[in-house]
Amino acid sequence: MYKQTTREILVTVLPQFVADRSDPEEGRYLWAYTIEITNRGEETVQLLSRHWDITDANGHVDVVDGPGVVGEQPILKPGQSFRYTSGCPLSTPSGIMGGTYQMADEAGEHFDIVIPSFSLDSPYAKRTLN
């Protein structure tokens, strides 16, 4: 599990390799990740958009930007959480993801919160020791 707090908003990520939807012989590897966003602050905030940097084992980076998450732009009152599950395909057996959510507070100020970088490691990834 990966965790990061920015401006009293906690983002928790739990990635999981999806073996039954992956095909290593064809170079297709799929991960699901569940994210929970918890407002530990004292003001209501809204998630407006997302930004992802997805890096495969070859160093290729895909950038994904878009409104909300899973078709929603959730509003989180103090103490509330929002949880969703999404997925990420790669052509390599491992990679890493990280990014930001753009949020807005009650006054309309926009700010970014960090999505902690998390490892995408399949059982097919070559293990190396540093």
Which CATH number is correct for 2-121, 3.60.130.10, 3.90.45.10, 2.60.40.1470, 3.30.450.30? 2.60.40.1470
**pLDDT band, very low/low/confident/very high, at 123 (cuts 50, 70, 90):** confident
Query: How high is the pLDDT of residue 130?
Result: 53
Query: How high is the pLDDT of residue 127?
Result: 63
| Torsion of Cα atoms, 101 then 54 then 16 then 77, to 10° | 0
- Largest Cα separation within the chain, whole Å, is 52
- The whole-number average pLDDT for the span 52-68 is 97
Q: What is the DSSP letter of 21?
A: G
Query: How high is the pLDDT of residue 125?
Result: 75
Query: Which helix or strand (DSSP H or E) is residue 31 part of?
Result: strand 29-39
pLDDT(124) > 90: no
Q: What is the pLDDT of residues 70-115, one digit of tens each?
A: 999 999 999 999 999 999 999 999 999 999 999 999 999 999 999 9
Query: How high is the pLDDT of residue 116?
Result: 98
- The whole-number average pLDDT for the span 42-49 is 98
CB 97 within 8 A of CB 58: no
The model carries a pTM of 0.92
- The whole-number average pLDDT for the span 119-127 is 83
Q: What is the pLDDT of residues 16-42, one digit of tens each?
A: 999 999 999 999 999 999 999 999 999
**pLDDT band, very low/low/confident/very high, at 45 (cuts 50, 70, 90):** very high
